[in-house]
Structure 1
Amino acid sequence: MREGSTRLSDPNFSFRFSDTDEEFDGSHSNFSSNEPHGSPMLKSPWYPGTPWSMNNLDDSSCPMNGLVGSLVREEGHIYSLAASGDLLYTGSDSKNIRVWKNMNEFSAFKSNSGLVKAIIISGEKIFTGHHDGRVRVWKASSKNPTHYHRVGTFPSVFGIFKCSMKPMSYIDVRRKHPAVWVKHHDVISCLSLNQEVGLLYSGSWDRTFKVWKMSDGKCVESVKAHEDAVNSVISTAEGFVFTGSADGSVKVWKREGKGRRSLKHIFVKTLLNQDSAVTALAVTKNGSFVYCGTSDGIVNFWVRENQLAHGGALNGHKLAVLCLSTAGSLVFSGSADKMICVWKREGVMHTCMSVLTGHSGPVKCLAVVGEMESTTARRWKVYSGSLDKSIKVWSVSELAPVMQTVTQNGSQIRSAKY
């Protein structure tokens, strides 16, 4: 990427930066469904990092952020995480989905469909997005909770056959010939749920996002959303859908009408349009803030109460932001620079309160769940998955001191290695 000014959707906002990593040079991807390891971050020279250390804080009553565990299984890079209660689901390029409970391996299941790029949980069902462009649905056995079996595939073989008998309404822009619109024709990169109306959203490198009924796996809509790979899709309870793409844009879509019968999504506006690829999106639980991570290492955000006006940018990373998550008043950003920044939001102001280090490769995915509250501090358990083949577990408090840096201390960290 050339050095210069990058213009945001807000005409009063601009940045200058120099991108020194060839991995994210340019806004367009060159993905191929025939290359199982085509993810651009695999081609990046990993940033050597900065030798951070734990600050010496004398106030023992002050809640601290720290690393509580590390899970390693030498079988593949970690591409996806999802957590629910005391269970953690991890997906990798080994095709395995592993289940962890209380820092121990609890179960595992496998699909012969390439690396697992996305995992999302809805009640007793686990949805996984795969390299072959399909979504698999899994469920634990009622008799043996350590045994998981597949209970569905989106789209099903029958669904594809049924659609193929009808006139085509979707053209595969890469292959330049008619294609069955209910099936993704490249890697599924992201998943999102709208529990209220029972819809699942899938984004793909084929530049579309698709809408599925969770009840029967029927694809009810396919939207040609971007000019390059869709890297992130987020659905909100209010019916908004946010998509981020390698074409450098963030777009807003709205589900028309109300209720379960409202299945058509219309374009609302573009929040961001720049050279740097959009690599991650996150929305706060109440939908008040939308966050976007990009390949230039910047996290931009927008404020809903101001008609999604641009609220500012968070500069804490030296390389691409690969994942984002929110919890309470905190925002977590994981990067190719191997670090996780913890941002605290007060109003529209954001402060970097901690930098979590310990991974030896890019931080590719994050998952956050609440911890049991033993004090007045709101504490969160943060899982981070990396291309160093490990998952790390962090304990983070909203009342922790600002700008502490946390590293791994092998003598104090519980580790499970297989």
Structure 2
Amino acid sequence: MLGGGGSFRGGQDFFGRNNSNSISRSNKLIKSPFDNSNIPPFPSSTATATADQPIFRPSMDTDPDPEHSFFEPASTSPFTKSPWSSHFNSDALPSPADNTSFLPNILMGSLVREEGHIYSLAASRDLLYTGSDSKNIRVWKNHKEFSGFKSNSGLVKSIVIGGGKIFTGHQDGKVRVWKISSRDPSVHKRVGTLPTLGDYIKCSMRPSNYVEGRRRRNLWIKHFDAISSLSLSEDQAFLYSASWDKTFKVWRVSDSKCLESIEAHEDAVNTLVSSIDGMVYTGSADGSVKVWRRELQGKGTKHFFSQTLVKQECAVTALAVNDDATFVYCGSSDGVVNFWEREKSLSHGGVLRGHKLAILCLATAGHLLLSGSADMGICVWQRIASDHFCLSVLTGHTGPVKCLAVEKDNEVSEGERRWIVYSGSLDKSVKMWRVSEQPPSTFQRSPSFIPECSPTAGLLVNAPSFVIREQ
């Protein structure tokens, strides 16, 4: 379930217009409209406050850049009812044993906040972390507000969880490290910043540790532009951070040391993902996807450039690798998803065309690929061998779908695989979907389907996609 999307520069805007000033040959980086915290609000979601059920707005700790801050647990809140409950109705969901009422994809709940656009999501066991341009990271448990913490480092552009730690990437180029308190699981303490203060001071003593930036010389261990993406290695020993400063950096999780800084692209690095085979994939506003291999050297490790998968005019905006690293997916600002097959030496496998506007995020789950777009929809693709078919399109957001997180659904009947999908949007909402790998009964595959043609060629127009419960 590896994926990378989030912030990007370059390519096309929401409406498909080319942004020629953002092409690398112009030597200017133009900030993408997808990452402007001053974006006018999108139309309100259907989950709005009512007299009987107001939207919960807890107060925040305003201590500037505190070592740790947190919300009161939901049990002490004056509003004990979860914001999810305005949509969530588990009793109304069809029984897995009732084949006649089987609905493969269901909107289970929707959470709306007025504090900012949702830029990042991460799911871990029964916890969901949401990051927004309010600088807040909220924590949800069993569809109820559980905890939260705040950093004054700007937009929360990326969240990854591993090794008992939570890593957040921010607008100011910093990576914050958080840990759950052993005494109180609702308390999250900030335990570090990358790079660490000690490494920063030590590195600053040597002139050779400075590199030329856009405006001034900078230390090589520090990102000097926004963090766009974070990814953990399979063994959780290394953290990768991609940035608009055209580089990605390699951090050792055990001691927070920056091991490498790689000048990866000619323009902003918009997305990065690592896979179980030690490979790292980077996508950029310069239109390229590059492959890097990790090699052990004595007690250390080093990354080497392997190959370029694609070089195109439009910006690369999202990457994902499936669980066994056999397929690599790339989303672009033109609304297209390309994929490559590892078993065929990363040869190009085909193009998936299901969106009208830019792809903003990708995620994999079993034999499924999910793509979120600026067109406000989420395409659910099923992979069978090397072919991909569009099972359904999840609609309901009123703004661009910015981020996705996936967890396995444990409440399933034998022989069925289902997933819980969380989608964050610039409409300031997070939606929760139940998605099945089992296609609708009306789904038929076209015998003439080939990867380069429309993936919806074999999908009946009236195939069900989702059901919105009474609100």
Which bin holds the TM-score, normalised by the shorter protein? 0.7 to 0.9
For structure 2, list consecutive stretches of 5 or more residues without a partner in the other structure.
Answer: 1-11, 44-97, 444-458
**Equivalent residues in 2 for 1:18-417, closer than 5 Å:** 21=15, 25-26=19-20, 28=23, 31=29, 38-41=31-34, 60=100, 62-169=102-209, 171-175=211-215, 177-196=216-235, 198-257=237-296, 261-375=299-413, 376-401=415-440, 402=443, 403=459, 404-406=463-465, 409=468, 411=470
Moved over 6 A (4+): 43-48
**Aligned residue-pair number:** 379
1:90-118 residue CA offsets vs partner (Å, 9 max, x unmatched): 00000000001111111110001101000
Query: What amino acid is the match of 1:304?
Result: R
1:10-58 residue CA offsets vs partner (Å, 9 max, x unmatched): xxxxxxxx998256534538557xxxxx44325799999xxxxxxxxx9
Tell me the TM-score normalized by structure 1.
Answer: 0.85
d(CA) in 1 for partners of 2:226 and 2:165? 21
d(CA) in 2 for partners of 1:408 and 1:132? 40
1:389–1:408: structure 2 CA closer, same or farther, 3 Å change rule?
farther
1:177-209 residue CA offsets vs partner (Å, 9 max, x unmatched): 431000000000100001426000000000000
Aligned partner of residue 318 in structure 1, secondary structure: coil
d(CA) in 1 for partners of 2:405 and 2:268? 23
* Larger deviation, residues 190-199 vs 97-106: 190-199
Query: What amino acid is the match of 2:304?
Result: I
d(CA) in 2 for partners of 1:101 and 1:336? 28
Q: Which residue matches 2:456?
A: none
1:281-303 residue CA offsets vs partner (Å, 9 max, x unmatched): 00001100000000000000000
Query: What amino acid is the match of 2:343?
Result: E
Is the Cα–Cα contact under 8 Å of residues 168 and 179 in structure 1 kept in the other structure? Answer: no
d(CA) in 2 for partners of 1:270 and 1:184? 24
1:39–1:63: structure 2 CA closer, same or farther, 3 Å change rule?
same
Percent identical pairs in the alignment equals 60
1:362-402 residue CA offsets vs partner (Å, 9 max, x unmatched): 00000001011431210000000000000000000001314
d(CA) in 1 for partners of 2:13 and 2:156? 29
Is the Cα–Cα contact under 8 Å of residues 31 and 39 in structure 1 kept in the other structure? Answer: no
Task: Give RMSD over aligned pairs.
Answer: 2.4
d(CA) in 2 for partners of 1:408 and 1:173? 50
The alpha-carbon deviation at position 256 of structure 1 amounts to 2.0
1:305-360 residue CA offsets vs partner (Å, 9 max, x unmatched): 00000000100000000000001000000000000000000011000001000000
Aligned partner of residue 94 in structure 1, secondary structure: coil
Query: What amino acid is the match of 2:34?
Result: M
The alpha-carbon deviation at position 73 of structure 1 amounts to 1.3
d(CA) in 1 for partners of 2:353 and 2:42? 17
d(CA) in 2 for partners of 1:405 and 1:45? 33
For structure 1, list consecutive stretches of 5 or more residues without a partner in the other structure.
Answer: 1-17, 33-37, 49-57, 414-418
Is the Cα–Cα contact under 8 Å of residues 103 and 466 in structure 2 kept in the other structure? Answer: no
Is the Cα–Cα contact under 8 Å of residues 226 and 244 in structure 2 kept in the other structure? Answer: yes
The alpha-carbon deviation at position 147 of structure 1 amounts to 1.1
* Larger deviation, residues 71-80 vs 261-270: 261-270
Aligned partner of residue 256 in structure 1, secondary structure: strand
d(CA) in 2 for partners of 1:330 and 1:203? 25
Is the Cα–Cα contact under 8 Å of residues 255 and 262 in structure 1 kept in the other structure? Answer: no
The alpha-carbon deviation at position 229 of structure 1 amounts to 0.8
Tell me the TM-score normalized by structure 2.
Answer: 0.76
Aligned partner of residue 257 in structure 1, secondary structure: strand
* Larger deviation, residues 294-303 vs 127-136: 127-136
The alpha-carbon deviation at position 409 of structure 1 amounts to 2.6
d(CA) in 2 for partners of 1:98 and 1:172? 37
* Larger deviation, residues 180-189 vs 118-127: 118-127
d(CA) in 2 for partners of 1:215 and 1:209? 19
d(CA) in 2 for partners of 1:287 and 1:377? 23
- Structure with larger Rg: 2
Is the Cα–Cα contact under 8 Å of residues 362 and 388 in structure 1 kept in the other structure? Answer: yes
* Larger deviation, residues 358-367 vs 235-244: 235-244
